[in-house]
Amino acid sequence: MNAPINAPINILGRLLRSPAGVAGLALLALLALAALSAPLLFPGDPLAIAGAPLTPPFTDPAFPLGTDRLGRNVLAGLFHGAQASLAVGLAAAAVSIVAGALVGTIAGFAGGLADEALMRVVDAFQTVPGFLLALAFVSVAGASLPVVILAIALGAWTGPARLARAEVLSIRERDYVAAARVIGMHPAEIALREVLPNALPPVLALAAVIVGNAVLIESALSFLGLGDPNIVTWGSMIAEGRNVLRSAPFLSIVPGIGLVVTVLGVYLLAEGLSDALASRKARP
């Protein structure tokens, strides 16, 4: 009974001992801070005109990173953009993992024809490029934040589904599942209360990678003008700066650095997490 309670704390301890994990956590904490402080430091609409257009960076103390073509504060956009990127990344990963884990668990547990049919659907989703799928979905449903989140999840749920199914297949033959069956638990109850929690750790390691990908896909959608037009995102800032790429390249380059830092933070955290999980496995 001890193991399930202590396991998360142990993993966290090992995570804090891996340099990659610490670096990832630090970067993400910084971004979360920027996202949370955005409404306090830069109240008002970051899409509103704030000053003279195309102020170069480091020239005007009111606009440390300058202004864009329409005179909007780049630094304010950067802070508010962190909100959008983190929110979309986390929400898309949450939706795809819950949906994928559910489908994978059902498929693995049901077996037979239902399993076969569900896995063919997973195959079909994996055959279509996730970005094309997101593009098509946004074009049908109209660009808004929830639609973008769903569109990204549409291409990302198959990974967790496959993983959860494989875990279930290896777990369902174990003794504690047989024991639960013997005491008369309903198959659905066994699936949700016994099998799913045990299949979760590797799914969580996959989660970080999905978050990183989701941030990148969101930025690409915004870059193509398919993001929510009412909020500022780093992708839309890059697209806006692209119009003056020759005269003011910083307008496109600065928000891109924000993207790189975010995704790198997520990947570093994933690496630290997989190290922590691997060392758990190595020491039985």
Partner 1 sequence: MNRALRLLRRRLVSSIPVLLIVIVGSFFLLELAPGDAADAYLLSIGGGDPALVQALRQSYGLEGSALSRLWLYLTSLVRLDLGWSVIFNRPISGLILERLPNTLWLMGSAVALSFTVGSALGIVAGSKPGSWRDRMLSTGSLALYAVPSFWLGLVLIVVFSVQLRWFPTAGIETIASGRHGLARARDIAWHLALPVAALGLIYLALFLRMMRTGMAEAWRQDYALAARARGLGHRRIAVFHIARNALLPLVTMLGLQAASMLGGSVVIESVFAIPGFGRLAQEAVAGRDAPLLTGIILVSAVLVILVNLAVDMAYALLDPRVGANEVAA
Q: Does 223 bind partner 1 (CB under 8 A)?
A: yes
Per the document, the length of the chain is: 284
User: What residues form DSSP beta bridges with 63?
Assistant: 60
Per-residue interface string for the shown chain with partner 1, residues 194-213, x marking contact by CB under 8 A? ------------------x-
Residue closer to partner 1 (CB basis): 104 or 212: 212
Q: How far apart are CA 126 and CA 142, in angstroms?
A: 23
Count of residues binding partner 1 (CB under 8 A)?
44
Stretches 3-11, 54-62, 70-78, 243-251: which one binds partner 1 (CB under 8 A)?
243-251
Per-residue interface string for the shown chain with partner 1, residues 134-173, x marking contact by CB under 8 A? -xxxxxxx--------------------------------
Dihedral, CA of residue 198, residue 92, residue 96 and residue 177, to nearest 10: 20
Q: How far apart are CA 209 and CA 266, in angstroms?
A: 7
Using alpha carbons, select from 112, 58, 94, 74 the residue that is nearest to residue 210. Answer: 94
Stretches 8-16, 74-82, 169-177, 252-260: which one binds partner 1 (CB under 8 A)?
252-260
Q: How far apart are CA 43 and CA 46, in angstroms?
A: 8
Site for partner 1, residues 60 to 89, rule: CB under 8 A:
none
Residue 64 C-beta-side C-alpha neighbours within 13 Å: 7
What residues make contact with partner 1 under the rule CB under 8 A? 120-121, 123-124, 126-133, 135-141, 212, 216, 219-220, 223-224, 226, 235, 238, 242, 245-246, 249, 252-253, 256, 259-260, 262-264, 266-268, 271
